[in-house]
Structure 1
Amino acid sequence: MQDLLLESPGFDEFLLELAVFSASQLAAPAAMMCAISVERAGRTITVASSSEGARRMDEKQYGFDDGPCLTALREGRTVLVEDLGTSERWRRYSEAVTDDDVASVLAVPIDAGADAGAALNCYARSKDAFKAATVPAVEAYAASLSRVLRLALRVHRLAFLPEGLHGALQSRAVVDAALSLVMAQTHGSREEAAVVLHEMARSNRRQLKQIATDILNGARLPGRAERDGETQQ
């Protein structure tokens, strides 16, 4: 995570890579999507997401000014929704995301310092995806994000203005396009494609957006044997 921060040209790019990295790290035993929300100066935005679906799940909460991730962020507590379809507390939100094929949600606060709030938001397509051992593991992972996130907030300007977000949106579009191409070539899931991109970025010590751009320009994907070898190292 420190390498991601040091090698990223800006805060938006750092969080984009961190969201994809988080989704790949937390994927077992069930695949999940991850997003990171930050609230600063009275405004809350999803600064990065591992997929378009995770971003939508976050942003639909902002329309209600209520939801699992906003509650985790503002109240500083973990929020677990084991079955979104039967939850009375989040019924309005559940109805709003019916078409997004998300069944359970885990939102964990991240200590972002005195001037900001943050949360790591995990979404799964199956009910009860977050088992008893999964919740403390995600909480421990979110705690490990705290130091590097507070450092990033201190040294990078968080761009809440539309013009400031332009570069981050461009980066996300490039990564999303590359993920779709990897899925088409490998016949795998989006989560598996995210792992491939992250492993390529790590092994080549390059930014995720650069790897995504290379893939869109025809770069060869590592074979399964190569990926397995990198994982074992």
Structure 2
Amino acid sequence: MSTREDQLLQTVGKLADSLVDDFDVVELLQVLVDECALIFDATAAGILLADPSGVLEVIVSTSERSEFVGLMQLRAGEGPCVEAVATGRVVSVEDLSHVTDRWPKFAADASRSGFSSVHAIPMRIRATIIGSLNLFSDHTGKLNDDDATAARTLADIATISILQQRLVEETHVAQGQLQRALNSRVLIEQAKGYVAQSRGIDTDAAFQLVRDHARATQTRLGLVATEIVAGRLTL
């Protein structure tokens, strides 16, 4: 059975493999949340990214539950994931039942989510913060120092990848990549809805079908979603 160190090294390798000349940001971040959920024994994981105007959006998640909590925080304007982006610090909540005074609006919604703890790791390089990597668990407990360090390392790799500037060093390059990621996410959400409705299944199962097809055909997730939405591909 793989050790934690083996899993971390394999994940670093997967992230590195994703960095082709014209890499897909959504694909890269989906790999990150999928692997983090396994490495850190999280029930689910998701990422919030800021668009070019600074508005946070849920860009990837491992389940509808984690995406729902991310959206709840955006609606409430508060919560551990939002705070991690605002402060640039890891925000670990080991028991969500104890945050009513700190984040009253978020606490009211989170009590219905089924999760018991949330840990948010900022995606930052020096003073630049572009989002947060968020881990959700069905059991209470804090994020220990070793796990926090490992999660920060993976988040840093993804952040550097997004902000890398191969030919120029102007900020608009990174902003353009983030905007393309957000546009791609919209198409993926639409494709999930199409597949769920046509197959009579829930959106998690629909997303799995879309991802399986993308992997089997070695096609970018965004391109598969585009074909589904356009009616040129039926799963």
Q: TM-score, normalised by structure 2?
A: 0.65
1:48 and 2:65 matched:
no
Deviation at 1:148, TM superposition (A): 0.6
Aligned residues: 204
Inter-CA distance 83–179: structure 2 relative to 1 (3 Å threshold): farther
State the alpha-carbon separation in 1 of the partners of residues 187 and 223 from structure 2: 12
Partner secondary structure for residue 55 of structure 2: strand
Computed over aligned residues only, the root mean square deviation of the Cα atoms, in angstroms, reads: 4.0
1:170 and 2:187 matched:
yes
Question: For residue 217 of structure 1, what is the aligned residue in structure 2?
Answer: 234
State the alpha-carbon separation in 2 of the partners of residues 198 and 100 from structure 1: 25
Q: What percent of counterpart residues are identical?
A: 20
Could you say which structure has the greater relative contact order, defined with CA pairs below 8 angstroms and 6 or more residues apart?
1
Question: For residue 140 of structure 1, what is the aligned residue in structure 2?
Answer: 153
Question: For residue 6 of structure 2, what is the aligned residue in structure 1?
Answer: none
Query: Partner amino acid for 1:92?
Result: K
Inter-CA distance 30–113: structure 2 relative to 1 (3 Å threshold): closer
Question: For residue 100 of structure 1, what is the aligned residue in structure 2?
Answer: 113
Query: Partner amino acid for 1:20?
Result: Q
Question: For residue 36 of structure 1, what is the aligned residue in structure 2?
Answer: 48
Partner secondary structure for residue 126 of structure 1: coil
Q: Deviations over 1:39-91 (max 9, x none)?
A: 644x3221512243333322322333322112111211100011111224234
Inter-CA distance 76–26: structure 2 relative to 1 (3 Å threshold): same
State the alpha-carbon separation in 2 of the partners of residues 133 and 113 from structure 1: 21
Unmatched 5+ stretches in structure 1: 185-189, 219-233
Unmatched 5+ stretches in structure 2: 1-14, 166-170
Deviation at 1:178, TM superposition (A): 6.0
State the alpha-carbon separation in 2 of the partners of residues 142 and 111 from structure 1: 8
1:159 and 2:179 matched:
yes
Deviation at 1:131, TM superposition (A): 4.8
Q: Deviations over 1:124-167 (max 9, x none)?
A: 2332274554322211111111211212765352439xxx9555
1:27 and 2:45 matched:
no
Deviation at 1:33, TM superposition (A): 2.2
Query: Partner amino acid for 2:179?
Result: A
